[in-house]
Structure 1
Amino acid sequence: MRSFGARDIAVDLGTANTLVYVRGRGIVLDQPSVVALDVTTGTPLAVGHDAKRMAGRTPAHIQVIRPLKDGVIADFDVCEKMLRYFIEQVSGSRWAKPRMVICVPSGITGVEQRAVQEAAEYAGARKPAFIIEEPMAAAIGAGLPVQSPHGSMIVDVGGGTTEVAVISLGGMVAAQSARVGGDVLDDSITQYVKKEYGVALGDSTAEEVKVALGSAWPLADEMYAEIRGRDLVTGLPKTVTVGSVEIREALEEPISSIIDAIKSTLDRTPPELAADIMGEGIVLAGGGALLRGLDQRLANETGMPIRIATDPLYAVARGSGQALEEFEVLRGVLFSSGDQY
């Protein structure tokens, strides 16, 4: 029996953002994966954008938590509360039990996968919750021919992980999940500014600097910006001017890790598929694909054509949504809690 008022939904449960796709309606929710909790009672005070605005600005009795780290659940209870809140937002009812497809990184362990499924089921999804691996979802969302015998390569640079996969005949032939993503890039900027200028930055400031100045390849016009933080010597607020060249230097190490993951995946790709990829190129998806010059840097390092998916931020959510729309056709790319693998 179909539960009353339930529509099938697909969730891209990301480290930085959670996106929800409702069958027949498309992507209806895009919120940061952040929850503000009242420490004394354990009740959520705000979820998503409102909670993110509170980060680093809270009194002692409010705690801002990001329940996912490196693409997997770090705080189960908070994650379940957040998912429940998003499901209620989308379905408009507390009692809806929608069929649910949820995304996980490809390098996830069986225990971590189980945690994601249980969180979804406790939050109100109908059993069994279906799992789709992120690179597969990103490839479907980027419009790659995943079911054909033709090789496609996807690089999904998310907030917590970078997923690299070569896909053919509806499965992943070679894949690698590196725990390097937007969070690590932000952290590298924080560490660099601390070391070079003796200034401590907040997480949201580091993210703003990355968006404003971050690049992976020399720019035609290098940019500068003033950033505010706390002077570590005097403890007073301080403003420093930082250029895009310095930020590129700060990001060098994590970007090299992403390149290494791509090279080691190509190294394990059968020659026939490698020839296909050489012709078609590598597709970039995820928020990290928006980093200036990342495509040029990868093209330079791998010697392959690189293209960025349309709306790279939404590729994974679109792909998992398509798996819902064409459930019978794409059933092979999904795992349910009954599957052992």
Structure 2
Amino acid sequence: MSIDSTLRSGQDAGMGRENELLQKADQLVDSGDFRGAISLLEEAGRFDDPTLARRLVSLRIQAYAEMEWPEPHDHWPPHHDGRFEGEAGFPDIQAVELDEGALKAGILGRGGLIVRGLMDEQRIESMRENIDRVLLARMEASDEVPGAENNPWYHRSENVRGGPTQFRGGQRFTTIGSAWSVDSPPTTFQLIEFYREIGLHGLLRGYFDEDPVLSVRKWVVRCAAPNNGASSGWHQDGYFLGDASAIRTANLWIALTDCGGDADAPGLEIVAGGERKIHETGTRGSPFDWTVGQDLVDEIALTSPVVCPRFKAGDALFFDHYNLHRTGFGLNHTKNRYAVETWFFAGSTAPHKQQPVVF
């Protein structure tokens, strides 16, 4: 196992300055200024400084429980201008056209919004490499490879609940699958940096009319392999997140590989429509108690079409917890699909079991 050289250099340099920054951050935390501490380390740090990156992850998780959040406001869901009414399938815009009005009209009016070219080519390549590093580092940790605990690409914060820091019982992980973004502090740092660059915090604050938060369990990086045409389960994330009528969400899914449609990698099959209800599960041909049966999906599709959009690497899809979707596997697939999925919650209604993360 080898640790990336850029991260090694970050470990070796600037220890005095780093200790000073950490001490200042601790002083801000002691005074109750978690946002100040996060901003200090975010502005001064880099993804390849493992100590600062790890401290930021812990601070973001700790901060939610210590900060004051408003009571949920009563003007939800917000009004939208209906700009996409009459469009078949999902509305489809360029990244430069993304604004609060488009996001509201897309998610609340049509069930989602495709945004072309949201992530640039350099960042796409970097994130694919990150995912390979994270999944390999987690596999080596689970296999107890000597030195794996020192690999900065996989490090679970002590503030993360509900999972072991080390793994026993043989190989449980491979280089295919998904991992929580917060389990890779360098990846977390880079993703939040990207979200800041594209103005996502302000966009979502306008959408929710309050500050957004991320979460530990609903923020993942993923490498999905072809599955020879096998089907995956139709589902709505609102089924898992508690009272669907009480929470307020926006999911950002970014393709890091050409996928869907006639591409060589699996994409997403999605029901395009603005119906805001949680459908019954475990019936009408459903293979699991948490999935929506194919017979019911076929019935829904009579008025809300099922689509499998063609995405280029860097294209994105926004939707919320009412959206009905599944991974779209096909017989033509020969390549893995890389993607990042980030669920954002309105801070006032974020489900605590998902461990909110201050953004």
Structures share a fold, TM > 0.5?
A: no
Which structure exhibits the higher relative contact order, with contacts defined as CA atoms closer than 8 Å and separated by 6 or more residues?
A: 2
Name the structure with the higher strand share.
1
TM-score (norm 2): 0.25
